[in-house]
């Protein structure tokens, strides 16, 4: 390994880099001196770039094959990065070579100062990287299609909720307007008849029956008023979740004697009426489940913001629990239809219960434009 005037004599390396060993390398391989002139190239390099080996020795790398290697990124690697780091792995160079077309090369480089050489290995990774890019592009397109389909489904779910509420409102208006007016007219007519009967005289039996009909009409009026109110509750005009949930808790105490405590560490604003309607329906269904299936007259609703940036609503009771598998198998069991609605909105629904233990039903919805947190402090 002698050198004269700083020049390296490759042939005197005592067999360390024989032609046979050099040509067994599957990657294209160059040995350059510190002037970036070719000392040696292996067969794989010559085959890759379609050049004769005997035409390479002593030629500047940048002058090879009609200056095809005069690439800004390659210059930066050899002239700026490698002298400082000495070792570079998988440095990607993408270039259109006039002789072989577009190629993506991964370069491994070593600068050996002792012998003033640079070892440069070329891996043609074009097929692999382009296949990966195509796969990623296909994946991105598929994910975008899934996102678009999800947006469409969520929009349809939102429209369905609004349509359901519009129908409730229509029925509410019919009850409040048409049916209540008819019932009120019946009540007035029965009062007129009763006064006329009192003037002209009638049997006590008829008088009692007229009184019963009048009382039933009053009850029917009250029922239609309550039903109209429940179908289209005015509380939905409020965007504050705590107001909506507290109203619902009060209604269940009035109607079913279910004493419900509401605990909220933060308040949440729900700008979208469709989402307010859905949350009201879900919490009402969960409370109604307690009324139907739990042996208790107390419930707890917890509202909080999770560390995962979610709105969490927990509905808890100490009513002895139930078997979840049996409940899921029961047709028409309303709890588990909730999960599908929430999934469409990017949320989730969990049920934790067992016979003899408390029941916890947990609603989770992502915060964002649809749900805005507002601290209560």
Q: Kindly calculate the radius of gyration of the chain based on its CA atoms and give it in whole angstroms.
A: 41
Measure the CA angle with vertex 130, ends 125 and 136; round to 5°: 130
Residues 213 and 298 in one domain: no
Residue 196 belongs to a domain: yes
Domain that holds residue 160: 132-229
CA-closest candidate to residue 295, choices 238, 202, 357, 206: 357
Region for 90 from its dihedrals, namely left if φ exceeds 0, alpha if ψ lies in -120 to 50, beta otherwise? left
If one compares 162 and 258, the residue with the highest pLDDT of the two is 258
If one compares 279 and 174, the residue with the highest pLDDT of the two is 279
How many domains would you assign to the chain?
A: 3
Residues 225 and 275 in one domain: no
pLDDT score for 1: 40
Q: Which residues contact 373 (CB under 8 A, 6 or more apart)?
A: 266, 267, 268, 269, 305, 311, 367
Region for 335 from its dihedrals, namely left if φ exceeds 0, alpha if ψ lies in -120 to 50, beta otherwise? alpha
CATH assignment of the domain containing 79: 3.30.450.20
The average pLDDT across 6-30 equals: 63
CATH assignment of the domain containing 296: 3.30.565.10
Residue 9 belongs to a domain: no
CA distance 118 to 116: 7
Contact 285, 366 (CB under 8 A): no
If one compares 235 and 324, the residue with the highest pLDDT of the two is 235
CA distance 191 to 239: 44
The average pLDDT across 179-206 equals: 66
Residues 253 and 360 in one domain: yes
CA-closest candidate to residue 34, choices 117, 120, 121, 119: 117
Question: Mean pLDDT of all residues in the chain?
Answer: 78
Residue 71 belongs to a domain: yes
pLDDT band at 27 (very low <50, low <70, confident <90, very high): confident
How far is residue 168 from each of residues 162, 172, 280, measured CA to CA in Å?
10, 6, 14
Residue 1 belongs to a domain: no
pLDDT band at 333 (very low <50, low <70, confident <90, very high): very low
Measure the CA angle with vertex 247, ends 266 and 376; round to 5°: 15
Tokens 């009540």 found at? 187
Indicate yes or no: pTM above 0.75. Answer: no
If one compares 8 and 151, the residue with the highest pLDDT of the two is 151
Residues 358 and 271 in one domain: yes
Strand order in the sheet with 298-305: 259-264, 298-305, 310-317, 359-366, 348-352
pLDDT digits (tens, 9 = 90+) for 104-149: 989 888 888 887 888 889 998 888 888 888 888 888 888 888 877 7
Of 199, 229, 259, which one is at a domain's C-terminal end? 229
pLDDT score for 211: 76
How far is residue 328 from each of residues 278, 317, 347, 351, 356, measured CA to CA in Å?
21, 19, 19, 11, 18
pLDDT band at 218 (very low <50, low <70, confident <90, very high): confident
Residues 42 and 118 in one domain: yes
Of 173, 207, 229, which one is at a domain's C-terminal end? 229
The average pLDDT across 354-374 equals: 83
CA distance 305 to 376: 12
CA distance 189 to 130: 86
Residue 8 belongs to a domain: no
pLDDT score for 3: 47
pLDDT score for 377: 47
CA distance 254 to 258: 8
Residue 3 belongs to a domain: no
Residue 259 belongs to a domain: yes
pLDDT band at 346 (very low <50, low <70, confident <90, very high): confident
CA atoms lying within 13 Å on the CB side of residue 192: 6
pLDDT digits (tens, 9 = 90+) for 259-309: 999 998 888 888 888 888 888 888 988 998 888 878 888 999 999 988 778
pLDDT score for 162: 64
Residues 110 and 146 in one domain: no
Residues 214 and 276 in one domain: no
């Amino acid at each position: 390994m002698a050198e004269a005037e700083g020049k390296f004599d490759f042939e005197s390396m005592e067999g360390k880099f024989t032609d046979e060993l050099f040509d067994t390398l599957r990657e294209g391989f160059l040995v350059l001196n510190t002037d970036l002139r070719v000392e040696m190239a292996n067969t794989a390099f010559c085959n890759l770039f379609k050049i004769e080996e005997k035409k390479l020795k002593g030629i500047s790398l940048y002058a090879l094959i009609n200056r095809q290697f005069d690439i800004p990124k390659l210059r930066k690697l050899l002239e700026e990065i490698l002298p400082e780091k000495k070792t570079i792995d998988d440095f990607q160079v993408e270039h259109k070579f006039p002789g072989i077309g577009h190629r993506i090369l991964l370069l491994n480089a070593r600068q050996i100062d002792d012998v003033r050489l640079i070892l440069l290995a070329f891996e043609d990774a074009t097929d692999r990287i382009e296949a990966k890019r195509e796969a990623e592009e296909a994946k991105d397109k598929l994910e975008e299609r899934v996102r678009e389909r999800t947006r469409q489904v969520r929009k349809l779910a939102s429209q369905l909720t609004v349509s359901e509420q519009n129908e409730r409102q229509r029925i509410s208006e019919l009850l409040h307007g048409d049916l209540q007016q008819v019932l009120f007219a019946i009540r007035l007519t029965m009062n007129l008849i009763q006064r006329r009967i009192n003037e002209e005289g009638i049997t006590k039996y008829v008088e009692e029956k007229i009184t019963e009909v009048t009382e039933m009409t009053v009850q029917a009026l009250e029922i239609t008023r309550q039903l109209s109110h429940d179908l289209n509750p005015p509380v939905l005009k409020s965007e504050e979740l705590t107001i909506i949930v507290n109203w619902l808790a009060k209604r269940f105490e009035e109607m079913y004697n279910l004493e419900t405590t509401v605990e909220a560490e933060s308040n949440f604003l729900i700008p979208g009426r469709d989402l307010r309607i859905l949350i009201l329906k879900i919490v009402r269904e969960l409370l109604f489940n307690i009324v139907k299936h739990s042996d208790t007259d107390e419930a707890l609703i917890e509202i909080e913001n999770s560390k995962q940036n979610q709105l969490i609503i927990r509905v808890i009771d100490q009513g002895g629990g139930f078997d979840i598998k049996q409940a899921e198998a029961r047709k028409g069991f309303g709890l588990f239809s909730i999960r599908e609605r929430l999934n469409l909105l990017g949320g989730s629904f969990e049920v934790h219960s067992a016979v003899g233990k408390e029941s916890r039903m947990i609603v989770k919805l992502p915060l964002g434009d649809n749900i805005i947190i507002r601290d209560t402090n």
